[in-house]
Structure 1
Amino acid sequence: MKKDHHRQGGSLPRQAHSRALDSAFRILARRDHTQKELKAKLRQKGFDRPAIEGALARCLELGYLDDAKTATIIAGHLVESGYGPLRVRQTLGQKGIDDAAIEQALARCGDEDTQVLSARRMLEKKAFHLSREADPWKRRQKAYRYLAGRGFSSTVINMAITDV
């Protein structure tokens, strides 16, 4: 008798909300996501706006969804992988992180000296490829383009390529 009662009067929205929340928990268990990413994944799974909004609200309430924390984690991974602040900013912006959280996460990039060291490490990994270019000017241009593509500023790049 109780099952019939639950199926009447709004149980479908509650079931959709519950399924959306369960799906959100499974998604967040794999890795941290931004609100924008989680919303997109739930939408792909076919949940409607109210179910998605309810799941997001509950995840935020429980502390499972934190864009600022996620931004810092992503920035750390990017910096460890040899990317500069311009790439970090771009990636975080694409993930829907707000400007304040991006600015906070950019602290992971370190100061200019730290960025120069990181850029030089990336050039060391690329040394064999760069050494195949005999013309020093073209070699510097290749190094510059490579570091610019990884998101380093022109100031950092110019300091990093002094020995190229």
Structure 2
Amino acid sequence: MKEHDSRQHDSRRVKASASALDSAFRILARRDHTCKELAVKLRQKGFDGVAIDGALARCRELGYLDDAKTAAIIAGHLVESGYGPLRVRQTLRQKGLDDALIEQALVRCGDEETQVISARRMLEKRTSHLGREGDPWKRRQKACRFLAGRGFAATVINRAVADR
């Protein structure tokens, strides 16, 4: 009797692991996820820790789950969208990535000169909005707040708004 229960339990565990892996594949087919994001989504679907760990391991084995690649993709997308390194760091940290991977991905932000160019480009897009402010001091403050909200450092902001 115990042997039958053991086989039945093993059978359920194999089915749960296969189902978790199938769910992981479907989730990853939509977009890249970090290990932590995928684990959370699988847990929300009701899978246990063993099934989740197995699915994560298999996805890594197959190359479908790569936190370093995902961090670089996210960082690149944010930089292209005009965000600075502080915002990139915050976003990557929220996705559960460790500090070493975040630092590698921050290379996408470029050096300070590149960031100043990006910040100026973002200000150019806001020219009509900022131009409505008649007071130059208030206009500068709005520009600074805008760039700070996009994740640029104070030194970059000061250089970007200096010519305006």
TM-score, normalised by the number of residues in structure 1: 0.94
Alignment of structure 1 residues 91-102 onto 2, 5 Å: 91-102=91-102
Gaps of 5+ in 2: none
Aligned-partner residue type, residue 61 of structure 1: E
Could you tell me the percent identity over the aligned residues?
77
Write out per-residue CA displacement over residues 3-53 of structure 1, whole angstroms, 9 at most, x where no aligned residue.
x9xx73511010000000000011111111000100111111111111111
Name the counterpart of 1:30. 30
Aligned-partner residue type, residue 155 of structure 1: T
Aligned pair 1:55/2:55, yes or no?
yes
Aligned pair 1:74/2:74, yes or no?
yes
CA distance in 2, matches of 1:42, 1:64: 15
TM-score, normalised by the number of residues in structure 2: 0.94
Alignment of structure 1 residues 1-150 onto 2, 5 Å: 8-150=8-150
CA distance in 1, matches of 2:59, 2:24: 8
CA distance in 1, matches of 2:66, 2:101: 10
SS of the equivalent of 1:8 reads helix
CA distance in 1, matches of 2:9, 2:95: 38
Name the counterpart of 2:158. 158
SS of the equivalent of 1:47 reads coil
CA distance in 2, matches of 1:10, 1:76: 44
CA distance in 2, matches of 1:31, 1:8: 35
SS of the equivalent of 2:32 reads coil
Ranges of 4+ aligned residues in structure 1 off by more than 3 Å = none
SS of the equivalent of 2:65 reads coil
Moved more, 52-61 or 152-161: 52-61
Gaps of 5+ in 1: none
Aligned-partner residue type, residue 143 of structure 2: A
